[in-house]
Structure 1
Amino acid sequence: MAAPSPVNAVEKVLAVLEALAEHRRLTDLARTTGLPKSTVHRILQTMVDRGFAAFDEDNGYSPGPRMVGLSGRTIGEFGASLGAEPVLRRLQERFSATVHMAVLTGDEAVYVRKLEGNKPYRMVSRVGMAIPLHCTGIGKALLAGMPEEEVAALVQRTGLPRRTPRTLTTLDALLADLKATRERGWARDMEENEEGIVCAGAAIRDHSGRMSAAISVSQLRSDPTAIDLSVLGPELAAAAVEVSTGLGTSSR
């Protein structure tokens, strides 16, 4: 059953924006909002033009980089109430390393929070920056929560671009790594995205149990004070469970 049709222009845009969080196809968006397809399409085209939505033929519509970037600039204010911010700060203080939180959007992840480490070096990452899934700690943590056929479909769409000599560039190698990630409970990036940078990542489940976000801790491999990933990883995984609990996850 369609929702009651919004009355004014602002309500129509907000209805489409809210529906875009769960639906990707024009038909589903129109049914959910109770608006004519032509109206929804017109709103979506404007959102795509302005970067608040993205579109491709295979996946339909999804939140765009500007929408995700805006959430990143405000998540620090609301993180404490969500249970994320205190956990992220504790990780940063515990390991003196750079901590990230990112959300899954389409076929990539986008940073929504960054806490710089207490180190003489700085990471080039920034809030609102999109990162690949196949070669990052955050990305592989998210991929590990997907069925293998979904991972294969994603790889067919995006390929496995080589970022460094250590990047996994075959589907078999990636699937083997994701199997190990599931067994460990956390993902590793061993200089696969940036040379010299190692990272551990762990996925966060939202209120529905879906892995929709992830957190990571990044360090220079050559840093003599860096914490070994075998020590860091399990603590990061426990922190991800804590954040998931704060988000009201229904399963682990």
Structure 2
Amino acid sequence: MIAKDPAKHKLIDLSKRLEINKSSMFSLLGTMEALGWVKRAAAGDTYALGHAFAEFGSSYLKQYDLHQHFQDEAAPVRDRLQETVQLARLAGDQVLYLGKMEAVSPVRLHSEPGMRLPAYVTALGKTMLAQLSREELLALYPQPELTKLTPYTIGHRDELFAQLDAIREQGYAMDDQESVMGFRCVAAPIRSGGGEMAAVSCSMLLHQWEVKAAEARDEMIGLAERLSVPTNT
């Protein structure tokens, strides 16, 4: 309650809303004040979060290992989908692959950790490019023509920018055989809180896509949310 509405609730408000009697609430708030978890306003006797949460957030960010977190979280997603899940970050105008949880399949994706691809040809890249401003995008793509990797690759900057507007609204990106023929992919952005952009994706053969597209989209959005660093830290 305090985090959601800082400096709004008094002791009596918290007591009523949480159904904790006033004496117990007084004791709880006193302890939390002493620990730095909450602070009481000088005027009005309302409560807000204390300095301890800034320290917790700083410690969390220092120990946060995105790659290890990905390994832990992506494995059950791969097992549910029975499809390969990948992690990447944006490196200029390219996607740099960081991690891969590979599903058992007779067909392997050619992308491996350390590999780079043009960002505009992948769902991973497009979902990260969508986080940039128009000025940043124009700096990355000063020329209107884009090189095609497949017949389905976006060939013009205006088409790319229009797609990025839609991706920004919907919160995920897809590519339809734009980097590899025979594969479709869905990706969602990870909010790192530190300026570096990352994303997760799931790629699959066309016949699997017809069956699993909605499930894969929801799984990627959920995975990206779990891997994101909360902005209030």
Q: TM-score range by the shorter chain?
A: 0.5 to 0.7
CA-to-aligned-CA distance 1:130-187 (integer Å, 9 cap, x gap)? 1111010110011011112211221127952101111111111111111111222110
Structure-1 residue corresponding to 2:231: 250
Aligned counterparts of 2:67 and 2:154: Cα–Cα separation in 1: 37
Structure-2 residue corresponding to 1:110: 96
Structure-2 residue corresponding to 1:241: 225
Aligned counterparts of 1:212 and 1:80: Cα–Cα separation in 2: 11
Structure-1 residue corresponding to 2:181: 195
Structure-2 residue corresponding to 1:222: 207
Q: Is the 8 A contact 1:203 1:211 kept in 2?
A: no
Aligned counterparts of 2:107 and 2:82: Cα–Cα separation in 1: 11
Does 1:213 find its partner at 2:194? no
1:117 to partner: Cα distance: 1.6
Aligned counterparts of 1:158 and 1:132: Cα–Cα separation in 2: 15
Give structure 2 stretches of 5+ with no counterpart: 1-63
1:86 to partner: Cα distance: 1.8
Normalised by the length of structure 1, the TM-score is 0.61
CA radius of gyration, larger in: 2
Q: Is the 8 A contact 1:142 1:211 kept in 2?
A: no
Aligned counterparts of 2:142 and 2:209: Cα–Cα separation in 1: 39
TM-aligned CA distance change 1:158 to 1:243, over 3 Å: farther
CA-to-aligned-CA distance 1:20-45 (integer Å, 9 cap, x gap)? xxxxxxxxxxxxxxxxxxxxxxxxxx
Work out which of the residue numbers 78, 85, 110 in structure 2 matches 1:99. Answer: 85
TM-aligned CA distance change 1:141 to 1:160, over 3 Å: same
Secondary structure in structure 2 of the residue aligned to 1:128 = coil
Q: Is the 8 A contact 2:66 2:227 kept in 1?
A: no
Q: Is the 8 A contact 2:73 2:223 kept in 1?
A: yes
* Deviates most, 183-192 or 101-110: 101-110
Aligned counterparts of 1:88 and 1:240: Cα–Cα separation in 2: 10
Q: Is the 8 A contact 2:67 2:98 kept in 1?
A: no
Does 1:168 find its partner at 2:154? yes
The number of residues matched between the two structures is 170
Normalised by the length of structure 2, the TM-score is 0.66
